């Protein structure tokens, strides 16, 4: 089975901090994704990556950046955390064609105080 | 642009009741369609998928049929259980796109 592991289930940070969310997948998938999930809004794509060192903006990239130095690892960075970034963050991975299902981690619930 | 619309919840049912969660989509081209489920405290899991018109996806007693003429992919289950309580997301993917486009999710609550 594909395993997507997010480094933290719960995280509490302060406004203005630089925050790193880590995601690792073990199935050699080319594609990796970061979403945020908010009540009433569903899942919204922040960034995705289709190869090492490659990245594409999703629907809501403002205030975020990403890093993919190795194929199995995709990091989401909040450059200067703000309270409106309090949310559930989900990482996913998939094979390189769009019709392939995505495999999700269990999520990181991030609170910015 | 491409989009997915699913019925708003919450949906509250008694055990053994029939379930329908409506999902319609707008897409250029020929999308693949998915239902994902999110159990409390967990990430999303793929429930079923269909890749072309008239395909029926099925898993764990759930079914959905890809209807091109009505641009729909409604989720059904004949007899729900308490353990089916979760949030259900409809999603689509097109060959031209890499990421999934999700609906807003429908919360299902089943009581015994």
One pLDDT digit (tens) per residue for chain B, 112 residues: 889 999 888 999 999 999 999 999 999 878 899 999 999 888 899 999 998 899 999 999 999 999 999 999 999 999 999 999 999 999 998 766 667 889 999 999 999 9
Distance of alpha carbon B45 from alpha carbon B69, whole angstroms:
28
Instruction: State the pLDDT at residue A92.
Output: 94
Question: What pLDDT is recorded for position A2?
Answer: 67
Smallest Cβ–Cβ distance between B89 and the set A33, A42, A99 belongs to: A42
Q: State the nearest Cα–Cα gap between B112 and chain A, in angstroms.
A: 26
Q: What is the 3-state secondary structure (H, E, C) of A12-36?
A: EECCCCCEEEEEEECCCCCEEEEEE
Residues in chain A with CB shorter than 8 Å from the CB of B95 are: 97-99
- Report the alpha-carbon distance of residue A22 to residue B2 in Å, rounded: 29
The pLDDT score that the predictor gives to residue A39 is 86
Inter-chain touch A106–B41, beta carbons under 8 Å: yes
What do you get for the CA distance between the two ends of chain A, in Å? 36
> How close A74 comes to chain B (CA, Å)?
15
Tokens 């009581």 identify what position? B111
State whether B98 and A58 contact (CB < 8 Å): no
Q: Any chain B CB within 8 A of the CB of A106?
A: yes
| pLDDT band at A98; cut points 50, 70, 90 | low
**pLDDT band at residue A99 under the 50/70/90 scheme:** low
Between positions 40 and 99 of A, the ones with CB within 8 A of B are 40-43, 45, 48, 50, 56, 58, 90, 92, 96-99
A41, A101, A107 member nearest B43 (Cβ): A107
pLDDT > 90? residue A73: yes
How far apart are the C-alpha atoms of B84 and B75, rounded to whole Å?
A: 13
Angstrom distance (rounded) from CA A65 to CA A39: 23
DSSP state string for B72-87 = B--EEESS--GGG-EE
**What is the C-alpha separation between B59 and B71, in angstroms, rounded?**
21
């Amino acid at each position: 089975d594909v395993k997507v592991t997010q480094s933290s289930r719960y995280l509490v940070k302060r406004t203005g901090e630089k925050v790193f969310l880590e995601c690792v997948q073990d199935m050699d998938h080319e594609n990796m994704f970061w979403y945020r999930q908010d009540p009433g809004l569903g899942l919204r794509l922040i960034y995705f990556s289709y190869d090492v060192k490659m990245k594409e903006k999703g629907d809501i990239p403002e205030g975020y950046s990403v890093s993919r130095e190795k194929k199995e690892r995709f990091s989401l960075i909040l450059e200067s955390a703000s309270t409106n970034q309090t949310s559930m963050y989900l990482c996913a991975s998939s094979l390189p064609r769009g019709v392939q299902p995505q495999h999700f981690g269990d999520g990181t619930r991030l609170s910015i105080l | 642009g491409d989009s997915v619309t699913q019925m708003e919840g919450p949906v509250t049912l008694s055990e053994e009741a029939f379930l329908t969660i409506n999902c319609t989509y707008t897409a250029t081209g020929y999308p693949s369609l998915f239902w994902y489920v999110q159990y409390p405290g967990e990430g999303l899991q793929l429930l079923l998928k269909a890749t072309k018109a008239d395909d029926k996806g099925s898993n764990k007693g759930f079914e959905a049929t890809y209807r091109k003429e009505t641009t729909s992919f409604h989720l059904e289950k004949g007899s729900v259980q308490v353990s089916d309580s979760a949030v259900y997301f409809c999603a689509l993917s097109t060959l031209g796109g890499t990421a999934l486009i999700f609906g807003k999710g429908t919360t299902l609550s089943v009581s015994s």
